[in-house]
Amino acid sequence: MEAPPSHVPDGYDILQRLGAGQTAVVWLARAVRGGQRVALKLPKPEALAQPVLRRMFENEVQITLKLQHANVVRAFDGRPTGEGAFLALEFCEGGTLDLLLLEKGKLPLDQAVALVRDVALGLEHAHERSVLHRDVKPANVFLSDTGAAKLGDFGTGTFSAEMAEERVGTAFYMAPELFAGEAASVRSDVYSLGVLAYEVLSGKRPFLGDSYDALMVAHMTALPRDLRQHRPDIAKHVSAVVMRAMSRDATKRYQNVHAFLQAYRAALGEASAGSATTPVPLATGRAARGKAATPAPSDDTTAPGDVGPEGSPAAGDAPKRRGLFGSWWRRDR
């Protein structure tokens, strides 16, 4: 194991390095009290010296500590500022949703349906706490060892209307109005949720492009194929719910995640009052290979990854990181 960080928060023992981004390094650590394994995110000194990167780390700590939901990656402890800044997160052993999709392609329908519902429940909770995520995508969804999905990576999240004016996100999942320079909103998060739902349910991305500009044109002008063309076994009402969430006109989308969930459950024939999700254990993915995913630094911004046929992520897309922060848009990890 490489040398541990010079500053380790009291109460944690470092086990191994898990990953790094522009703002932080993530370590697998063990809590001295209780012995629980956590993902310990420590900001890089050079990031603390840059106002934008420092603010992203501070936002993630402050936001994640305020969210407590079964479908949000849990924060156990954290300090947003100073040399002792850190964030101790739930260690998710099931991998990330993007890697599961990359490995399996089209998921079993019951599993896909449950994963979409989980992500929506996590996002609904964030919105109820006045938090915009602004980068909802499979790479920011983590899986428990039972297969339950948990929304994470709130580095681009915001409580602030002022920050919502910034153009951040991943071009594959960004709402059309964001490309046009409008501020992020609940409805733009709903759009990203719709794109994620389409991909999870069908195994295909609804929009293709090998550059930011190409993806901008696709989101602003293209009409995705009906979901049932990729997934004939899905009910037409479910397809209609997902397609409405991706409406180019924000006023025609579901105006909040709660409305999306109500329509989604109704389309599935579920009771609208029910909120419990039956997780589907993962037979494949990182957990099956003996590897575990953890919330990684949410600050890598790059040019778009390669896109495979009919919108499937290319095999080399998810694991790469390149760090072109100035472009302010994020590729799938």
178-226 pLDDT, tens digit each: 999 999 999 999 999 999 999 999 999 999 899 999 999 999 999 999 9
The dihedral over CA atoms of 265, 63, 193, 328, expressed in degrees to the nearest 10, equals 180
Partner residues linked to 132 by β-bridges = 158
The confidence score (pLDDT) of residue 164 equals 65
pLDDT tens-digit profile of 90-132?
999 888 999 999 999 899 999 999 999 999 999 999 999 999 9
How far apart CA 76 and CA 41 sit, in angstroms, is: 12
How far apart CA 100 and CA 251 sit, in angstroms, is: 33
- Which stretch of DSSP H or E encloses residue 225? none
3-state secondary structure of 12: strand
| Residue 121 backbone zone (phi > 0: left; psi -120 to 50: alpha; other: beta) | alpha
Mean of pLDDT values over 248-270: 95
Residue 290 predicted with pLDDT over 60: no
Q: Do domains 12-90 and 97-318 have the same CATH topology?
A: no
CB 330 within 8 A of CB 170: yes
Mean of pLDDT values over 80-84: 86
On whether the pTM is more than 0.75, the answer is yes
- Which stretch of DSSP H or E encloses residue 34? none
Cα 89 vs. chain centroid, distance in angstroms? 15
The confidence score (pLDDT) of residue 155 equals 87
The confidence score (pLDDT) of residue 227 equals 94
How far apart CA 198 and CA 138 sit, in angstroms, is: 11
How far apart CA 150 and CA 122 sit, in angstroms, is: 7
Q: Return the amino acid letter for 63.
A: I
How far apart CA 267 and CA 236 sit, in angstroms, is: 8
Place of tokens 């700590």: 61
Place of tokens 């389309």: 267
How far apart CA 150 and CA 155 sit, in angstroms, is: 15
Which sequence spans correspond to the domains of the chain?
A: 12-90, 97-318
CATH architecture of 12-90: 2-Layer Sandwich (3.30)
In the CATH scheme, what is the code of domain 97-318?
1.10.510.10
- Which stretch of DSSP H or E encloses residue 150? strand 149-151
* DSSP, residue by residue, 37-106: EEEEEEE-HHHHTSHHHHHHHHHHHHHHHH---TTBPPEEEEE-SSTT-EEEEE--TT-BHHHHHHHHSS
- The total number of residues shown for the chain amounts to 333
The confidence score (pLDDT) of residue 74 equals 96
Task: DSSP letter for 313, please.
Answer: B
- Does 166 or 150 have the greater pLDDT score? 150
Closest CA to 293 of 191, 190, 163, 140: 140
